Amino acid sequence: MLVATWNLAGVKARLETLLAWLEERQPDIVGLQETKSVDEAFPRAAVEKLGYHVELHGQKGFNGVALLSKTPPKSVSRGLPGDTTDEQARYIEGVWDVGGSTLRFVSLYLPNGNPIGTEKFDYKLRWMARLERHARKLLAAEVPFVLAGDYNVLPEAQDAKRPDVMLGDALFQPESRAAWRRLVTLGLTDAVRAATAAPEVYTFWDYQDGAWRKNNGLRIDHMLLSPEAATLFDSAAIDAHVRGWEKPSDHVPVVVELGFR
């Protein structure tokens, strides 16, 4: 079973790229981020034509998350619990019956947090604290789950081509990285790092300064597996070639294979 995450940087601008990748990769479940679309304007029909069910939590002009799946989920929830005043569309969670088991899959778009020293950075840290609390509750259920998405966090220096230039960025602040470690040390597995410890493994290349050509990348899109999902883990891959397609997102898909039998 293939599950994936991808920050599209706007579904309307990247629709043809999304459709081409879905046809090429044939994932079973995909979490999308930064769709930048209200639910009514999402190009649902084009995606459904490829055989995918669509669940949305959209927002006009920015944010927006979605779940695409070959089979419909049995339940869906929208919004990260813990703050009823938070109106930003950054979290959607679905539950599927898979081979006699249950899989919970989350698509999340964690706040960027820049510039540091502002409310935006405080919001990022509060959001990460809420995610940690929710992850604790999910872990208590002892069922396979995947927290997939654009985390806007660089866990280690090796996750950036030039970590020195990231020192003043919210993605690489000690507080952001500490919040990431607290989340992972609950018992979650970073799927990509479980597959490889190699350097220069990236999921994002900026549009500026020839970043793609120079391989000046960042690894900020992650898939965290619960212990029950980690026992099913077969492989992880980053579809970096998609960054070279026409009208690409600055992010690329991350794909994990889970061995549901």
Q: With residue 149 as reference, give the H or E element that holds it.
A: strand 145-150
Residues 36-89: tens digit of each pLDDT: 999 999 999 999 999 999 999 999 989 999 999 999 999 999 999 999 999 999
Whether residue 173 contacts residue 112, with contact meaning beta carbons closer than 8 Å, is answered with no
Give the residue carrying structure tokens 């964690």.
Answer: 110
* Residue 132 counted as an annotated binding residue: no
Let me know if 109 is a catalytic residue: yes
Q: Mean per-residue pLDDT for 97-118?
A: 95
Which H helix or E strand runs over 194?
helix 191-195
pLDDT digits 0-9 by tens, 152-174: 999 999 999 999 999 999 999 99
The domains found in the chain, sorted by start residue, are: 2-258 (3.60.10.10)
Q: Is 7 annotated as a binding residue?
A: yes
Which residue of the set 28, 150, 159, 169 is catalytic?
150
pTM: 0.97
Instruction: Tell me the pLDDT tens digit for each residue of 223-254.
Output: 999 999 999 999 999 999 999 999 999 999 99
> Per the annotation, does 112 bind a ligand?
no
Amino acid, single-letter form, for residue 238: I
DSSP string, 85-137: T-----EEEEEEEETTEEEEEEEEE----PSTTSHHHHHHHHHHHHHHHHHHH
Is residue 220 over pLDDT 80? yes
Q: What share of the chain in percent tops pLDDT 70?
A: 100
Decide the pairing of beta strands 29-33 and 2-7.
parallel
Q: Is 251 a catalytic residue?
A: yes
Helices H / strands E in the chain, number of each: 7, 14
Q: Pick the catalytic residue from 28, 57, 91, 109.
A: 109
CB neighbourhood size of 154 (10 A): 22
Q: Is residue 206 flagged as an active site residue?
A: no
- 3-state class (DSSP) for residue 144: coil
Please give the structure tokens belonging to residue 247.
């009208």
As a whole number of angstroms, the distance between CA 252 and CA 68 comes to 16
**24 annotated as a binding-site residue:** no
Give the per-residue pLDDT at 261: 64
The Cα angle at residue 123 between residues 251 and 159, in degrees rounded to 5: 35
